[in-house]
Amino acid sequence: MATLITQDGTEIHYKDWGSGQPIVFSHGWPLSSQAFEDQMFFLASNGFRCIAHDRRGHGRSSQPWQGNDMDTYADDLSELMQALDLKDAIHVGHSTGGGEVARYIGRHGTARVAKAVLIGAVPPLMVKTASNPGGTPIEAFDQIRANVLADRSQFWKDLSLPFYGYNRVGAKVSEGVRESFWLQGMAAGMPASYFCVKAFSETDLSEDLKKIDVPTLILHGDDDQIVPIADSALISAKLVKGAMLNVYKGAPHGMCTTRKDEVNADLLAFAKA
């Protein structure tokens, strides 16, 4: 993996595979770029240059106390785009990474962006507020923070079940996938594990979504137990002008893994369109 040093001295590690039009991936919490390897290998094998970074505090990147917020995540992505001089890029963001993509466009525009894909993404706003009555109560996120502090190793193991829909009757459980989730989670430092909860749950990305002026594809599972579809994709699809929404029936939050062949096919078709 290559390394970028940001303006505040944070090391951001990234993968850069293949050649062609760039596709830039932003992963979810508490994972790393490893979560997108199925998509990266497939798309790089089909004529695209695939770049994915470990967000600050996650994976192999350094673990600063500061900057675990959506603005800084977006600015780190911007620095990566500029350092590699990426143009006409297709941005793909899963979960928290979808928020990162939206905030990146909101803060830095689409001069370097050709298209955007939001997968199981957190926008526009996860937490329940007076203006977002369908959101998840703040107490649920407080409990996540408490679990991270109490025993995050066990919490990651427990979280892998609803993340991939493995707690559903008849689900085919992969212990390997669960172990990979745990391993990626444990690679994230405690500051990112804790502070990122506020970033992905309380950052209102509504205005960022309205600024997206490139073709946008929204993929979401209707059995997503982590980011419920009703308060995310269904609203985002109305806020992003001309967005295309593809609902995966029965799919969980971790659909890039459990439904990777379908996701890969949709990404390839959208990238080539």
Chain position carrying tokens 């137990």:
225
**Cis geometry, peptide bond prior to residue 215 (ω within 30 degrees of 0):** no
Helix (H) or strand (E) holding 67: none
d(CA 217, CA 3): 29
Q: Supply the pTM of this predicted model.
A: 0.97
pLDDT tens figures, 70-125:
999 999 999 999 999 999 999 999 999 999 999 999 999 999 999 999 999 999 99
> Once rounded to an integer, what is the mean pLDDT over residues 209-229?
98
Helix (H) or strand (E) holding 263: helix 260-272
| pLDDT score for 1 | 77
DSSP letter string over 193-212? HHHHHHHHHH---HHHHHT-
- Alpha-helical runs (H) found in 17-108: 37-44, 70-83, 96-108
The set of catalytic residues is 95, 224, 253
CA angle, 99 then 255 then 127, to 5°: 40
> Once rounded to an integer, what is the mean pLDDT over residues 155-160?
98
Whether the predicted pLDDT of 32 surpasses 90: yes
Chain position carrying tokens 């941005």:
91
pLDDT tens figures, 34-78:
999 999 999 999 999 999 999 999 999 999 999 999 999 999 999
| pLDDT score for 92 | 99
Q: Are strands 11-17 and 2-5 parallel, antiparallel or unpaired?
A: antiparallel
Q: Give every CB contact of residue 119 below 8 A, 6+ residues apart in sequence.
A: 92, 93, 94, 95, 98, 218, 219, 220, 255, 256, 263
pLDDT tens figures, 231-258:
999 999 999 999 999 999 999 999 999 9
> Once rounded to an integer, what is the mean pLDDT over residues 137-146?
98
pLDDT tens figures, 166-196:
999 999 999 999 999 999 999 999 999 999 9
d(CA 256, CA 165): 12
Phi, psi dihedrals of residue 157, rounded to the nearest 5°: -60, -45
DSSP letter string over 104-154? HHHHH-STTEEEEEEES---S--B-BTTBTTSB-HHHHHHHHHHHHHHHHH
The CATH code that applies to domain 2-272 is 3.40.50.1820
